[in-house]
Structure 1
Amino acid sequence: MTDTTQAGLTALLRADGELVTERLDHWAATAGDRPFFHYGEDGITLTYAEFARRTDAIAGNLAAHGIAKGDRVSVFCANPFASALMMFGIWKAGAVYCPVNFAYTGHLLTYQLRDTAPAMVVTDPALLPALNAVADDLDGAPTVAVYAPPAGAHDHVATREDVSPRLPELAWAELQAPAERPPVTVEFDDPANIIYTSGTTGPAKGVVQPYRWLAQYTFNLRRALTTDDVIYNDLPLYHVGGAIANIARAAWAGCEVAVWNRFSSGDFWRRIASRGATTAILLDVMIPWLMNAPAGEDDRRNTLNKVHMQPLPAHHAEVAKRFGIDFVTAGFGQTESGAPLAVVIEETEAGGGTPPELYRGRSHAEIRELTTALGMPVLRGDEVRHKGLMGLPSPFLEVAVLDEHDRYCADGEPGQLAVRPRLPGLVPAGYLGKPEATVAATRNLWFHTGDAAVRGADGMFCFVDRLGDRIRVRGENLSSFQVEEILNRHPAVQLSAVFSIPSREGGEDDVVAYVVSGDGKVLTEQDVHEFAAGAMPKYMRPRHVRIVPDLPRTPTNKVEKYRLRARILDELKEEGR
């Protein structure tokens, strides 16, 4: 069993390196000709040595242009190839990787850039107009570098918009020119990233993640990998799932990561076959799309043998049986707390999932041995019938279910999931520039996740629901506060109340908005839909809008959203929707 003393846990983390940049250096030196990063959109493959050389140069050029240790660099790119190069280059310069959701425009983009206050912003030609549009609203004047896709690339453009004259520009060619890596040393508790998570009662918060957080977050998933594995990724690099759980994890494991811009249910299996991918993360909305495709005799003839499902669906065994998936992993993943819980589900016996001639990576016996050595459960597929099972705590973190007074809940009693690190640097130090939110989240020496869970008599944790007004659409987490804040900017809107109702697709939500118009102002549902289309990303837009004279409220003037939720559900039921 794992030694859970501080010395034992530190040694466990250091066994394969605490710093992701050190792991990339290791593989570049020992297996430099091995493929590391494959970009499927353009058919580009960089070896470990090539990727290391290019990111060394980016780091050197960042330093030459004044980017110092601790400086923040915002990456506002839809292209994951450019984003990945920048991410590692930023880390090697000792700077802080600050990705921005590439669907953001206007107020959402302005807020994040003002909150982050980056020294530099890296963008691509398609997103430059959105950046230019908010240039005058930024507090400072960060240097801008615009990715220049080469001729023949899917996103190559012959000409592009000029960078706003208010913002100094650094040519992409200067950022890529040969240069020596700067002599920068980072420690395990230095900040590596600032990644934003939605807040339920206020603006989005920047989570300041130290380097050791990356090691903790990837630890459970990478233990099952060998250098023969290939990680498939179609998640964006402004999310920890794409940037850290997939790409950084590959650098730790010394294997290949095959990357595409976005998920495609119609192209998913062709992509898996093209690189022989062995492992992938499937978010809840992706699974129904794959399962809805017509079944075929060759559904099991693929190389995908390890899949992480987040959250775990009730029909995981059915998915695994159809597509020949040997192992399904699940747990709890969060921008703040990392990966405090995990479970491994052995869906088939050896040889019963992926055809033996296509199977690559650790054997069934090796995965069972490695997992149980960490004190983590390995369950049979037919043993797991609970939707949302998250498993047992990682050796690096204590986990509890707490009531509103931070007392332990009894087994079977729902409460808030909370975590406590066993080593320094395992969880973020706090939220950027928001000390009150940091104190509230870390009260009584626990980090409060904001999610409801239950602990079973067997010690296993299960997800119950999101606390507060968080909403999940198309794999994105958002808050009702964010949507309300934007809708309330419409000149005819006096007040709005936003909440979620279950969607017909997977474990997703539909966004509902009840809107009150200002005195004497005319407002229609179509007006609200059109305003939302121009002001927010598609996943954030309300699917159902209702214009009402007023909102039900408590005596303390809090909107009673549960009444509105019951009203819209009854209405949709009567309409047969």
Structure 2
Amino acid sequence: MIIEDFSVETVEVAGHPIQTFKNRFRTIWEMFSRCAATFENEIFLIEGQTRLTFRQTAELAACMAARLEKVGAAKGDHVGILMENSLRFVISFWAIQKLGATSVVFNTRLAPAELERQLRFSDLKILLTSPLLSPKLQEIDSASLAFRQIVLGDNWQDELPKRDGAHSQDGIAEDDTALVLFTSGTAGTPKGVMITHRNIITSALKAMHITSQYSGLEESGAQTMLMVAPLFHVLALQEQLMSALILGRSCILVPSFNPWEVVELLSRERVNVLAGTPTMYWLLLNKTPVRDAKLDSVRIITYGGAPMPPDLLKQIRESFPGVICLNGYGLTEASVISTLHDRFSEVHPTSVGQPNLCSEVRIVDLLDGKELGPNAVGELAVRGALVSKGYYKLPEETARVYRDGWFHTGDMAYRDEDGFLFIVGRTREMINRGGENVYPVEVENVLHLHPKILDVAVFGLPDPVMGSAVACAVILRPDVETIGVDEIREFCAGHLADYKMPRKVFLVPDLPRNPGGKIMKSKLVEQFRETASPDKQ
């Protein structure tokens, strides 16, 4: 392993104590260089028929850095990336880091107006894009944007300088911003999260520690990871790519999630590690001939981004016999802060695990901010080396959620006596019915057990008497025609208190999700707010 000693120390950052790894790198380029030297001739990146070793990746990144420097990029500049998952994306990311600049990564699924707002907001010096994504720039007034645009075409490698430049890492501090990722925007306008070198390095070392900690992971022989989540998402860029780097794994890049392509790659490339959201796994298991494929190579499956329905997790275990499943909880602002290993999943099936090293958590009262004891529901707050430094150019929003060294996540949660975390919903999604709090996830966990229900989202709607009514949007299984509110309430009896039971049921063909796979419940509230007699829908 790159590092054997995972000792933790307390240091002061921005006037507050945080836990961080004692043995760590100062910059992520320093970490990358160490890994490239250690795993020199091992395959690191795979795209189609192209394979790059760690050494080749480092050489291309250095040459790309020289090209960026030639057109004016320098230490401290913002360099944007608008690309699909690809070799050119990863090489560009490392090149920007070699320069000591900041990578600003944009969601490739944004509408032109959304993209234009973020581009203007980000103070870019250069924007790197691909032939697949460059047409998006033609749909906006890109000529008025004050930065240079570079399209890395099919022959991008041939256009690089043959020699790299000398780019010193001197003057780059651990807590300088290395990356800006935008939040998913489920709470409103996406915000640019300033992620530091320390944050990213901690993510990588945490992945190494988890691998060494649990029997079965280190011995799994897992060497090939399939990256299906988009690299503009924290799960893919800060977690999956960095864990592949630090563990010397090969990383297969696919431009977008296609369940049929995933099945083919799992078999052809003998993939060992698969990571994704519950939505991705559902599509993989229900829309493809996955059960006929050769999947015995898959050793580790990780998931996160949204709650995992118990029935879907059962499907995963049946389709991938002997696989080790890891559930991770995280946010763009703090990466993955807790992990649930398979060996605890039967005892704590709805838990998101225990906090990882360098992550301190506490549950606080929403009204007075005091820490709560075991099994009491409050807002989850976290601090440590994984927590980012705030939102770019949004000091008031930063001050609202980063308080006294703690990041207040907006997630309602509780911890049991053994320290396992349970997420019960978002603070803004909590339903107050006649003075009683209803947490949507608690209701969803019960409804996911119903044999007629494929997927469900619980949310609150205005009620003139009780304040709010518990409503649910339901996707039925393919062989089911309908389900009514009475049938649902009868099923919930014995599992939920009366005030938690759904009063309104909507049958829907799909649920609105953001690019990270999270259900956008605000869209459901907006859609069904004025509906009369919704239980008959």
Q: Do residues 384 (structure 1) and 348 (structure 2) align?
A: yes
Deviations, residues 38-61 of structure 1 (Å, cap 9, x unaligned)? 01xx32111111111000111122
Q: Do residues 270 (structure 1) and 270 (structure 2) align?
A: no
Specify the code of the residue in structure 1 equivalent to 2:106.
V
Deviations, residues 465-492 of structure 1 (Å, cap 9, x unaligned)? 13336999xxxxxxx9xxxxxxxxxxxx
Counterpart Cα distance in 1 of 2:6 and 2:518: 43
- CA deviation after TM superposition for structure 1 residue 538, in Å: 13
Counterpart Cα distance in 2 of 1:118 and 1:294: 41
Counterpart Cα distance in 2 of 1:452 and 1:2: 30
Q: Specify the alignment match of 1:183 in structure 2.
A: 168
- CA deviation after TM superposition for structure 1 residue 3, in Å: 5.0
Deviations, residues 428-480 of structure 1 (Å, cap 9, x unaligned)? 111000000000011243201111212223221111113336999xxxxxxx9
Q: Specify the alignment match of 1:522 in structure 2.
A: none
Specify the code of the residue in structure 2 equivalent to 1:121.
L
Which of 37, 49, 52 is equivalent to 2:55?
49
Q: Specify the alignment match of 1:313 in structure 2.
A: 309
Q: Specify the alignment match of 1:551 in structure 2.
A: none
Counterpart Cα distance in 1 of 2:244 and 2:374: 37
Specify the code of the residue in structure 1 equivalent to 2:154.
P
Counterpart Cα distance in 2 of 1:565 and 1:453: 27
Provide TM-score, normalisation by structure 1. 0.68
Seq. identity, %: 22
Aligned residues: 444
- CA deviation after TM superposition for structure 1 residue 228, in Å: 5.5
| Mapping 1:97-176, distance limit 5 Å | 97-135=103-141, 138=144, 140-150=145-155, 174-175=159-160
Specify the code of the residue in structure 2 equivalent to 1:261.
P
- CA deviation after TM superposition for structure 1 residue 96, in Å: 0.6
Compared with structure 1, are the counterparts of its residues 256 and 176 closer, same or farther at alpha carbon in structure 2 (3 Å cutoff)? farther
Which of 331, 335, 340 is equivalent to 2:332?
335
Provide TM-score, normalisation by structure 2. 0.73
- CA deviation after TM superposition for structure 1 residue 88, in Å: 0.7
Compared with structure 1, are the counterparts of its residues 294 and 337 closer, same or farther at alpha carbon in structure 2 (3 Å cutoff)? closer
Stretch moving more, 311-320 or 185-194: 311-320
Q: Secondary structure at the match of 2:310?
A: coil
Compared with structure 1, are the counterparts of its residues 402 and 204 closer, same or farther at alpha carbon in structure 2 (3 Å cutoff)? same
- CA deviation after TM superposition for structure 1 residue 293, in Å: 5.1
Counterpart Cα distance in 1 of 2:74 and 2:531: 53
Compared with structure 1, are the counterparts of its residues 56 and 2 closer, same or farther at alpha carbon in structure 2 (3 Å cutoff)? closer
Q: Do residues 463 (structure 1) and 434 (structure 2) align?
A: no
Q: Secondary structure at the match of 1:288?
A: helix
Q: Specify the alignment match of 2:342 in structure 1.
A: 345
Q: Do residues 31 (structure 1) and 39 (structure 2) align?
A: yes
| Mapping 1:355-434, distance limit 5 Å | 379=344, 381-386=345-350, 389-404=351-366, 405-421=368-384, 426-434=386-394
Deviations, residues 401-430 of structure 1 (Å, cap 9, x unaligned)? 212121223432322111022xxx542111
Counterpart Cα distance in 1 of 2:87 and 2:369: 44
Counterpart Cα distance in 2 of 1:279 and 1:537: 22
**Gaps in structure 2 of 5+ consecutive residues:** 12-16, 212-216, 431-439, 442-458, 460-470, 478-513
Compared with structure 1, are the counterparts of its residues 263 and 296 closer, same or farther at alpha carbon in structure 2 (3 Å cutoff)? closer
Which of 60, 63, 71 is equivalent to 2:66?
60
Counterpart Cα distance in 2 of 1:219 and 1:82: 25
Q: Secondary structure at the match of 2:100?
A: coil
Counterpart Cα distance in 2 of 1:21 and 1:278: 27
Moved over 6 A (4+): 9-12, 294-297, 469-472, 536-546
Counterpart Cα distance in 2 of 1:199 and 1:257: 28
Which of 409, 413, 428 is equivalent to 1:453?
413
Which of 475, 480, 483 is equivalent to 1:504?
475
Deviations, residues 110-163 of structure 1 (Å, cap 9, x unaligned)? 11011111000111223323213333585x52011101114xxxxxxxxxxxxx
| Mapping 1:234-313, distance limit 5 Å | 234-292=228-286, 301-310=295-304, 311-313=307-309
| Mapping 1:408-557, distance limit 5 Å | 408-421=371-384, 426-468=386-428, 502=473, 504=475
Deviations, residues 505-541 of structure 1 (Å, cap 9, x unaligned)? 89xxxxxxxxxxxxxxxxxxxxxxxxxxxxx999999
Counterpart Cα distance in 1 of 2:291 and 2:140: 52
Specify the code of the residue in structure 2 equivalent to 1:321.
E
**Gaps in structure 1 of 5+ consecutive residues:** 151-170, 347-378, 473-479, 481-499, 507-535, 547-560
